[in-house]
A and B are shown apart, each in its own frame.
Chain A
Amino acid sequence: MRLIPSRLAVAVAAVAVVAVPSLALAYNQAPMLANNKALPPVDQRLPAKPQVIKPLDRVGQYGGTLRTAMRSNNDHNAILRVIGNQSLVRWGVDGFNKIEPNLAESWTISPDATSYTFKLRQGAKWSDGTPFTADDILFSMNDVLANKGFLSAVPADFQPGGTPVVVTKTDDYTVVFKFAKPYLPFLEKLATPVDQYPTLFQKKYCSQFHPKYNANVADLIKQNNAKDWGQLFRNFCGDIEIPARWGNPSKPVMDPWVIKEPYTGSATKVVLERNPYFWQVDTAGNQLPYIDRVQFQLISEVETILLAAINGQLDYQQRHISGITNRPVLSENMARGGYKLLPSAGINANQAGLWLNHSTSNAKLQKLIRNKDFRIALSHAIDRREINDIVYLGQSQPWQSGPHKASKFYNEKLATQYLALDIKKANEMLDKLGLKMGSDGFRQYPEGGRVSLGMIVMISNAALMETSELLRKHFSKIGVELVINSSERSLFYDRANTNQYDISLDVFSGGLDPTMNPRPWLAIHATESRMSLPWVKYYLTDGKQGEKPSPSMLKRLDLFDKWQVAKTEAEADGLFKQILEEAANEFEVIGTVMPAPNTGVINKRIVNTPAIMPDGWTWPTPGPSLVQQWSFVK
């Protein structure tokens, strides 16, 4: 009697063994790969457990070429954005609120948040068919990134608090990242394109350009006229943000598409073709990507890109044409160009923020700027509705410097205080400050001299230029003179970095990703925290250089230091909310309007695109929306 169940068990086991390969056989591949005799069958190319991606609308169809455009120089990141950064983890398709597994199947974080253990996707392969293992990560992190011949220092994101990460493997598919201090933001950093290093270089191919693995590397350096092995390595294996990353068709990658026609100085187009070893499938077992090829047309003029878009020569385009000013022409030509509009939400907290310089070299003005009442008066003098109507076609809304409502860090006060247009109140406040109106219509300091602010703004940004003219008009109504110093970008930065400005009109970052770009509330960024760059210097040099920040800023910086080493998410979020609350109380910088939605175009026949996505670099639009599951339908 006992025999029967055990036989049954054997039979069940046998069925199970048979069932696994038969399940695997169910994977489908693109027709363009079906006839390729050189390739192993699709189920051998895929990992045992490929990552299953649920298409946004429906299971797609194979085929087609995604035509898009980029500028012909200094625009390599256009490729990265479409192809996507295949890192250990990735952003959720809808934005910043979730981190999803990617090349790492799962991970655990130690209770003190100092050590991250990643389980890699076993059987995932590089585009040349070589398995992706822990050794590739160790090579990238320990041999390349930590080597002074490649980078003079390990990137800050991989050495929080100044101690570089230690990366080890416990087996071929398990790696441990160990930090000296608690480091909660690590997963979010890993999801951004600039921190893709762990999965960037294949050991087998790239080690031939590394002196540790190739004794004859000196010959290669000479053959290629390179200066050192770092340059040779970059030339063949690329780096995160350089054109050479897309210049070598024989470099193995983990991306959905691989380079066929490389991006070089004389290229007029760049073509990528599907990676037969890509390790994701859809819910019906179809290997991704759906689209066969991605083609970038190289165009030197941005206006020509716009022309190509409205002529329907591009299947997808956001970059360079998504500004609000192009919206009318893009919607007008929708039928003719056969596209629909692809909206994206600007990621910045403010599109035209006034960075008041709290360390301006003008002593009388500095005293004034450091007076909160003066700042409030300026804010009440701004007619934000007019700015919105004239510059942003009424598509935006008045806003200060706070995160958007969609962010969990939304702070009503920081976002909406002192927004009302109230010239009378503003004038009263300025009167109280002892700034008498002169006969020329401008206010005078009590000790004499006209109250005049010099504002630097970049000429390349037309919207900011228009806004600055409106601001000059608005401030003249309360007797404050605004002198606009417009210049091209490098001179702008020159003036900013040498502290030659009273106001800098520029974006406030951190609308959707406040913890990643907290520059408007914290003097931490060496060139962008323009409420006072001397304060930043003080913070970055531990008080050795620069100028001591205001008590409020010191308090925030202290909270920020605590936030950086917080052990739990609750603790971290609590600290960050305190930072924002303190910034709201201090009201250091003045906002005008939040970003208006940007507009791109996408071919009407493409499905599985998100209704709206963030338009950012930390969330490199459109990559994390998983372009590999976009599909042309007939």
Chain B
Amino acid sequence: MLNYIFKRMLSAIPFMFMVSLTVFILIQLPPGDFVDSYAAAAASSGETISPEKMADLRHQFGLDRHILIQYFYWIGGIVTGNFGYSFEWQSPVKDLVGERIGLTLILSVAAMLFTWALALPIGVYSAVKRYSIGDYFFTFVGFIGLAVPNFLLALVMMFIASKYYNQDVTGLFSPEFQSADWSLARVYDLMHHLWIPMIIMGAASSAGLIRILRANLIDQLYMPYVVTARSKGLSEVKLLIKYPVRIALNPFVSSIGWILPNLVSGAVIISIVLNLPTVGPMLYQSLMSQDIYLSGTILLVVCLLTVVGTLLSDILLVILDPRIRLEQ
């Protein structure tokens, strides 16, 4: 097992290198560079930046040099733990991303737990009580959850909260806690705000998972081994949990690796609508403004987390499903 993990880690290194090169080139493909978009943003507020100033900024940021030199400057820094400076913020990328990644992880884990807590029991129920009133009801709700875009749900919830409860549901903290140090009160405040993005983000993915679990479980429920177990007199609950559900869980576990990239890239719109201080909006902004070191680093980190996540889910799969072997 350890040998396997080590091999996987080793093979990740050239992969990450390829990813970093691709990412860096892709980010720079759109016309113009950071200085252009900086000038454009200034111009949209009626502010002007002189051509000399633009040339000076390009020189300052090293944008006047060849793209490969820029790349090696960046990647060389990363190897020594220096992720470069964000052009826009003029501060180290490490600090910028570090501040947000913690909250992003908390939010993604919360959303994942919510998804599972919702999808598991409902999925099992729907499969076992197939074509019952309850199954139809959850199927109906599930399809709505799948069809309605998350950000629309967020907007509706924002509207309801502000119209009927006069409450501001955006952000992850109340104003007084926004820049406070961590304390019990602040954690409590976070819990208070966390549930809305948690529900919104969890809604669509639970709907999807319910459908998958239901389908998988129905496949398993009529397998001969289930019939055999039942004829041997195994109790219905024990039978269900120990065999078919365990196998039907495979899609849950194998999706662990995708949760993080999904939250960073897939939930960007929700994060912007709800004004969440997560990595998503920062990635979006930095891509829009071609802040190459910032967006490049975020994409690289997301990629790394995906690699680690996939490895984790593979290991979990081995534990969960004895049919899967490590050896080829």
Do the two chains belong together in a single complex? Answer: yes
Which residues of A are in contact with B by a Cβ distance under 8 Å? 72-75, 77-78, 151-153, 155-156, 194, 224-227, 230-231, 234-235, 241-244, 247, 261, 264-269, 299-301, 304, 311, 319-320, 347, 460, 489-491, 493-494, 517, 526-528, 615-617
CB pair A244 B89 closer than 8 Å: yes
CB pair B277 A268 closer than 8 Å: yes
The A interface, classified by DSSP as helix, strand, loop or mixed, is: loop
- Using A301-B272, A617-B48 as known contacts, list a sample of 15 further A-B pairs with CB atoms less than 8 Å apart, ordered by residue number in A: A74-B285, A75-B41, A152-B55, A153-B52, A155-B50, A155-B52, A155-B53, A156-B52, A235-B90, A265-B96, A266-B99, A300-B281, A460-B44, A489-B37, A617-B46
CB pair A490 B42 closer than 8 Å: no
**A333 CA / B52 CA spacing, docked (Å):** 44
**A152 CA / B55 CA spacing, docked (Å):** 9
CB pair A269 B178 closer than 8 Å: yes
CB pair B42 A241 closer than 8 Å: yes
Q: Give the residue name and chain of the A residue nearest to B99 (CB).
A: A266
**Residue with the highest number of chain B CB atoms closer than 10 Å, among A74, A226, A347, A517:** A74
**A494 CA / B100 CA spacing, docked (Å):** 34
Give the shortest distance, in Å, between A614 (CB) and chain B (any CB). 10
Q: Give the residue name and chain of the A residue nearest to B83 (CB).
A: A225
**A74 CA / B175 CA spacing, docked (Å):** 22
Q: Which residues of B contact A490 (CB under 8 A)?
A: 30-32, 36-37, 40
Q: Give the residue name and chain of the B residue nearest to A319 (CB).
A: B45
CB 8 Å contact bits of B80-105 with A (1 = contact, 0 = none): 00100110111110111001100000
Q: Which residues of A contact B82 (CB under 8 A)?
A: 225
B24-80 contacts to A (CB < 8 Å): 30-32, 36-38, 40-53, 55-56, 59-60
Q: Give the residue name and chain of the B residue nearest to A313 (CB).
A: B168
Q: Which residues of A contact B47 (CB under 8 A)?
A: 77, 241, 617
CB pair B88 A74 closer than 8 Å: yes
- 23 interchain pairs, CB-CB under 8 A: A74-B88, A74-B285, A75-B45, A153-B56, A155-B50, A156-B52, A225-B82, A225-B92, A231-B90, A242-B90, A244-B91, A264-B89, A265-B99, A269-B175, A269-B179, A300-B281, A301-B273, A304-B275, A489-B37, A489-B44, A493-B40, A528-B48, A617-B48
CB pair B289 A526 closer than 8 Å: no
Q: Which residues of B contact A224 (CB under 8 A)?
A: 92
| Number of residue pairs spanning A and B whose beta carbons lie under 8 angstroms apart | 128
Q: Give the residue name and chain of the B residue nearest to A347 (CB).
A: B46
**A602 CA / B132 CA spacing, docked (Å):** 59
**A247 CA / B175 CA spacing, docked (Å):** 19
CB pair A247 B91 closer than 8 Å: yes
Q: Give the residue name and chain of the B residue nearest to A234 (CB).
A: B90
| 4 closest A-B pairs by CB | A490-B32, A266-B99, A265-B96, A489-B40
**A292 CA / B158 CA spacing, docked (Å):** 31
Q: Give the residue name and chain of the A residue nearest to B98 (CB).
A: A266
* A225-B82, A347-B46 as given contacts; A235 in contact with B91, CB under 8 Å: yes
* A73-B285, A235-B91, A301-B273 as given contacts; A151 in contact with B56, CB under 8 Å: yes
Q: At the interface, yes or no: B145 with Cβ under 8 Å from chain A?
A: no
Give the shortest distance, in Å, between A322 (CB) and chain B (any CB). 10
Q: At the interface, yes or no: B296 with Cβ under 8 Å from chain A?
A: no
**A615 CA / B45 CA spacing, docked (Å):** 10
CB pair A266 B90 closer than 8 Å: no
CB 8 Å contact bits of B153-186 with A (1 = contact, 0 = none): 0000000001000000011010100110000000
* A153-B56, A155-B52 as given contacts; A73 in contact with B31, CB under 8 Å: no
Which residues of B are in contact with A by a Cβ distance under 8 Å? 30-32, 36-38, 40-53, 55-56, 59-60, 82, 85-86, 88-92, 94-96, 99-100, 162, 170-171, 173, 175, 178-179, 272-273, 275, 277, 281-282, 285, 289
**A225 CA / B89 CA spacing, docked (Å):** 14
**A268 CA / B282 CA spacing, docked (Å):** 12
Q: Which residues of A contact B43 (CB under 8 A)?
A: 489
CB pair B40 A243 closer than 8 Å: no
**Residue with the highest number of chain A CB atoms closer than 10 Å, among B48, B86, B170, B289:** B48
CB pair B171 A268 closer than 8 Å: yes
* A155-B52, A266-B100, A491-B31 as given contacts; A225 in contact with B85, CB under 8 Å: yes
Q: Give the residue name and chain of the A residue nearest to B43 (CB).
A: A489
**A265 CA / B49 CA spacing, docked (Å):** 22
**A243 CA / B91 CA spacing, docked (Å):** 9
Give the shortest distance, in Å, between B233 (CB) and chain A (any CB). 60
Give the shortest distance, in Å, between A244 (CB) and chain B (any CB). 4
**A31 CA / B23 CA spacing, docked (Å):** 55
**A527 CA / B52 CA spacing, docked (Å):** 12
**A77 CA / B38 CA spacing, docked (Å):** 12
**A234 CA / B91 CA spacing, docked (Å):** 9
**A151 CA / B272 CA spacing, docked (Å):** 35
Which of A244, A304, A493 is B90 in contact with, Cβ under 8 Å? Answer: A244
CB pair A527 B275 closer than 8 Å: no
Q: Which residues of A contact B51 (CB under 8 A)?
A: 526-527
**A311 CA / B159 CA spacing, docked (Å):** 12
**A230 CA / B59 CA spacing, docked (Å):** 12
CB pair A243 B85 closer than 8 Å: no
**A234 CA / B56 CA spacing, docked (Å):** 14
CB pair B281 A72 closer than 8 Å: yes
Q: Give the residue name and chain of the A residue nearest to B33 (CB).
A: A490
CB pair A264 B36 closer than 8 Å: no
Give the shortest distance, in Å, between A336 (CB) and chain B (any CB). 12
**A311 CA / B49 CA spacing, docked (Å):** 34
CB pair B289 A74 closer than 8 Å: yes
**Residue with the highest number of chain A CB atoms closer than 10 Å, among B59, B60, B289:** B60
CB pair A265 B282 closer than 8 Å: yes
Q: Which residues of A contact B277 (CB under 8 A)?
A: 266, 268
Q: Give the residue name and chain of the B residue nearest to A540 (CB).
A: B51
Give the shortest distance, in Å, between B166 (CB) and chain A (any CB). 10
**A526 CA / B95 CA spacing, docked (Å):** 37
